[in-house]
Amino acid sequence: DIQMTQSPSTLSASVGDRVTFTCRASQTITTYLNWYQQKPGKAPRLLIYAASSLHSGVPSRFSGSGSGTDFTLTIDSLQPEDFATYYCQQSYRSPYSFGQGTMLEIK
């Protein structure tokens, strides 16, 4: 199975900050990388697919990049509603595994 590792586990930031999350795959996954946002008590929500494509309805302050094994999710100018947990997921080879998540908390 492909292992996905996210860092950091927790990130503290303030409204208006620019933040970057990192996700690393245990082997190349080309650009088969998706990012999800999950708020407490809610289902995950797709943000980015194919490493850098913004899902419909997602604000443009979210962006993704990377290929191969290393990927990033960036949020420009954090908004109060962005504080949540973020998961990466590889869809290169089944089982389509997830990272362990990065919790974004208010500083």
Partner 1 sequence: QLQLQESGPGLVKPSETLSLNCSVSGDSISSPLYYWGWVRQPPGKGLEWIGTIYYPGSTSYNPSLVGRVSISVDTSKNQFSLKLNSVTAADTALYYCMRRIGSYARQIDSWGQGTLVTVSS
Radius of gyration of the chain measured on its C-alpha atoms: 13
Query: Rounded to the nearest whole angstrom, what is the least distance from the CB of residue 36 to partner 1 in the complex?
Result: 7
Interface residue with partner 1 among 5, 53, 77, 79 (CB under 8 A) is 53
Which helix (H) or strand (E) segment is 25 a member of?
strand 19-25
Instruction: Please tell me whether residue 65 adopts helix, strand or coil conformation.
Output: strand
Which positions ≥6 away from 42 have C-beta within 8 Å? none
Q: Does 69 bind partner 1 (CB under 8 A)?
A: no
Interface residue with partner 1 among 8, 100, 105, 106 (CB under 8 A) is 100
Residues in contact with partner 1, shown as a per-residue x/- string from 70 to 89 under the rule CB under 8 A: -----------------x-x
